Amino acid sequence: MLGFIPWLFGHSVTEFQFKALVVLFLQTICVSSSSNEGLLRGFSAVPDSSVTSFQAFLSDHTGNFSLGFLRVDRTQLALAVLHVPSSQPFWLANPTRLARWSDSTRLSFNGSLVISDPHEGVLWSTGTTGDSVLLLNTSNLQVQSDGDPPSVLWQSFDFPTDSLVENQNFTSSMSLVSSNGLYSLRLGDDFMGLYANFLHSDSDSEQVIYWKHKALEVKAQIVEGGGPLYALVNTDGYLGMYQYQTSSKPMDVQKFDSFQRSNISFLMVRIEPDGNLNGYYWDGSKWALNYQAIAETCELLSPCGSYGLCKPGGSGSGCSCLDNRTSYQSGTGCFDERQQGYGDFCGQAVAENNYWVLRRKGVEAPDKEFLSYETLSSVEQCESLCEKNCSCWGALYNNANGFCYSVDYPIQTMSGTGDESKVGFFKVRNSPPGKKKRSIGVVVGVVVGSVVLIAIIGIGLAIAGYLRWKTKGAIRQDGISLSPGPYKNLGSSSFSYAESK
Ligand SMILES: *[C@@H]1O[C@H](CO)[C@@H](O)[C@H](O)[C@H]1NC(C)=O
Ligand SMILES: *[C@@H]1O[C@H](CO)[C@@H](O)[C@H](O)[C@H]1NC(C)=O
Ligand SMILES: *[C@@H]1O[C@H](CO)[C@@H](O)[C@H](O)[C@H]1NC(C)=O
Ligand SMILES: *[C@@H]1O[C@H](CO)[C@@H](O)[C@H](O)[C@H]1NC(C)=O
Ligand SMILES: *[C@@H]1O[C@H](CO)[C@@H](O)[C@H](O)[C@H]1NC(C)=O
Ligand SMILES: *[C@@H]1O[C@H](CO)[C@@H](O)[C@H](O)[C@H]1NC(C)=O
């Protein structure tokens, strides 16, 4: 109950700060001069030490989009295409290899757009021999060569970051990765899926699917040999899946709330730090939520962090811990994330003693349809199966039908069901495995996740964003990511969660 007080307080402060900070931020952008003529060979730019957030040098002709240096975590730099009115980055050149915000870092165009630094050499390059760099009114950045018509040698649309704007082709060789590096969207032969990334070791990771949408083939059949699927956000208000040979008609349509509404100006989808895939439209002042792949918070993989318990709807809803002796703290999960975060129990000296067992009734896995299971006649058999298998982190048994599901990745959040016949068995690590102490995604997470630190704005606006969500009666989201990046905070600032009808 007392928990509400800071929220209420946060509200009044934030609404005020929100406007002030937005004005401040937009001024910063406008101060930097930028052209919309395109960059020619010989262009070069270095970061300006007085710029605190974004240094623009190229705009599209509408002024809606800008290419420039985005300051990340105060000291780092990403080359970004920003949606100017919301200061939302749509694309980053080098999310996993940020440059330093220092006057030795240089962006140049010599036919290739190149980010370099005298210490590290070339950090990123388009590897082209072009004549100009243009930013289109779709937010697509292109390197073109002269000619009639000019040819496109490289485009940012082919290297999406975490977002897809309308009419941007998403193919099976691409992936969208959430800003904290934990989740990704990819296409399969006849479906699109959301995957979580779990590190096995410092170099090896495992991708686990937790949401799958199969092409329904309502409007067109998938043609054998017709090439792989691709997806795009159609301006009619849906996320469509297409096949190259028959590209005019979608195989599948996931409708947005604005489906076939004509007054919608600009659509995008983004994979969020909580692992959801959200669609938005630009309503002229903010991004309004238009679509969610996963509608219920408790159906996300980790809304309450590791070893969390998510209770949907009504009274008592929200986050707690699977271990009823541990109190839930948002952002850190229920046990030390670093200790629990990755790998398995195999190949360790004293296998029996390196974990203890936690049991909880009335829980089930949100992704159980993707877990392997066997039918067994007792919960003891189910537990013993997991206990004997060093790659098993936990097992969930359903006394009603005898299904025994096993979880072979670090335990995330379980969803609470009122049903006491569903029981969970979970291994909890006693001590970190060897010296390797990295939680899932921290490697990528730290790098990508901190992609958009705009320090002051981030904090103020994050509270505003959370508050909107909070008032919608949803569960607080800040326990979701293991390395909650400021990117997410910035994101929630200009993204509203439209009231559901
Ligand atoms: C452009 O500069 C990069 C980095 O210095 C270099 O590797 C590349 O060969 C140059 N390209 C051309 C066409 O000169
Ligand atoms: C964007 O550019 C295309 C062609 O370059 C043009 O047809 C279209 O009207 C432009 N849209 C906006 C909103 O300016
Ligand atoms: C998207 O794919 C379609 C079908 O192959 C193609 O015609 C179109 O030019 C592509 N658009 C972009 C922006 O690459
Ligand atoms: C682009 O700019 C126009 C004119 O200022 C505005 O009406 C429109 O909403 C903008 N679109 C986006 C996506 O920002
Ligand atoms: C916590 O869980 C244990 C074991 O399931 C149970 O015996 C105990 O009553 C629970 N305590 C509370 C406060 O719910
Ligand atoms: C242990 O669990 C993994 C993952 O669930 C499974 O692939 C493997 O076959 C199991 N091993 C044994 C010996 O049952």
pLDDT reading at 357 higher than 90: yes
Select the more confidently predicted residue: 204 or 303.
303
Residue 132 is inside which H or E element, if any?
strand 132-135
- CATH number of domain containing 248: 2.90.10.10
pLDDT at 350 over 50: no
Predicted pLDDT at 109: 97
Model-wide pTM > 0.85: no
Half-sphere exposure of 191 (CA within 13 A, CB side): 9
Residues 153 and 164 in one domain: no
- Note whether 291 and 329 are same-domain residues: no
Residue type at position 232 = L
In a domain? residue 211: yes
CA–CA gap between residue 2 and residue 151 (Å, rounded): 62
| Atom of ligand 2 lying closest to residue 61 CA | 14
User: Does ligand 6 lie within 6 Å of residue 320's CB atom?
Assistant: no
Q: Whose CA is nearest to atom 12 of ligand 4?
A: 64
Given the CA of residue 62, which atom of ligand 2 is nearest to it?
14
pLDDT at 223: 77
**What confidence category does residue 432 fall into, taking pLDDT thresholds of 50, 70 and 90?**
low
Residues 138, 62: Cα–Cα separation, whole Å? 10
Average pLDDT of the segment spanning 298-309: 93
Average pLDDT of span 107-120: 95
Q: What is the mean pLDDT of residues 197-219?
A: 84
Same domain, 386 and 361: yes
Residues 241 and 127 grouped into a single domain: no
The pLDDT assigned to 339 comes to: 66
Does residue 399 lie in a domain region?
yes
* pLDDT tops 50 at residue 159: yes
For 454-468, the pLDDT digits (tens) are 333 344 444 444 444
How far is it, in rounded angstroms, from Cα 293 to Cα 271?
10
pLDDT at residue 331, rounded to an integer: 72
2 within some domain:
no
Query: Quick one: average pLDDT of 437-447?
Result: 39
Quick check: is 442 in a domain? no
Over range 431-436, report the average pLDDT: 50
Q: Is 12 domain-assigned? A: no
Residues 395 and 321 in one domain: yes
Q: Which of 83, 167, 265, 287 to mutate to test the pocket of ligand 4 (most atoms within 8 A of CB)?
A: 265
pLDDT, one tens digit per residue, over 31-65 is 345 666 899 999 999 999 999 999 999 999 999 99
359 contacts: CB under 8 Å, gap ≥ 6: 423, 424, 425, 426
- Is there a single domain that holds both residue 291 and residue 166? yes
Whether 114 has a pLDDT exceeding 50, the answer reads yes
Is residue 181 located within the same domain as residue 260? yes
Of 169, 229, 249, 251, the one to substitute when testing ligand 3's pocket (max ligand atoms within 8 A of C-beta) is 169
pLDDT at 1 (0 to 100): 34
- Nearest ligand by distance to the CA of 385: 6
Residue-level pLDDT at 345: 83
pLDDT at 247: 61
Q: What is the pLDDT of residue 313?
A: 81
| pLDDT tens-digit map of 313-345 | 867 679 999 998 988 887 777 887 666 667 788
458 and 360 together in one domain: no
C-beta separation of 133 from 65 below 8 A: no
Considering the domain boundaries, does residue 423 fall inside one?
A: yes
The mean pLDDT of the chain is 80
Residue 19 lies in a domain: no
Q: Looking at the structure, do residues 303 and 254 belong to the same domain, yes or no?
A: no
Which residues have C-beta atoms less than 6 Å from ligand 3?
Answer: 157, 169, 244, 247
* Residue numbers of the domain that contains 474: 454-500
Tell me which of 373, 376, 390, 408 to substitute to probe ligand 6's pocket, judged by most ligand atoms within 8 Å of the beta carbon: 408
What atom in ligand 1 is closest to the CA of residue 122? 4
* Percentage of the chain exceeding pLDDT 70: 74
User: Picking from 122-136, 277-291, 314-328, 387-401, which range would have the lowest pLDDT averaged per residue?
Assistant: 314-328
What is the count of structural domains for the chain? 4
Question: What atom in ligand 1 is closest to the CA of residue 110?
Answer: 1
CB–CB of 237/255 below 8 Å? yes
Q: Is 392 in the pocket of ligand 6 (CB under 6 A)?
A: yes
CA of 389 to the centre of ligand 6 (A): 6
Q: Cis peptide leading into 85, omega within 30 of 0? A: no
CB of 372 closer than 6 angstroms to any ligand 6 atom: yes
Q: Do residues 136 and 246 share a domain? A: no
Q: DSSP strand E in 166-266: where?
A: 170-171, 176-177, 183-187, 191-199, 205-214, 229-234, 238-243, 252-255
pLDDT of res. 478: 30
395-410 mean pLDDT:
95
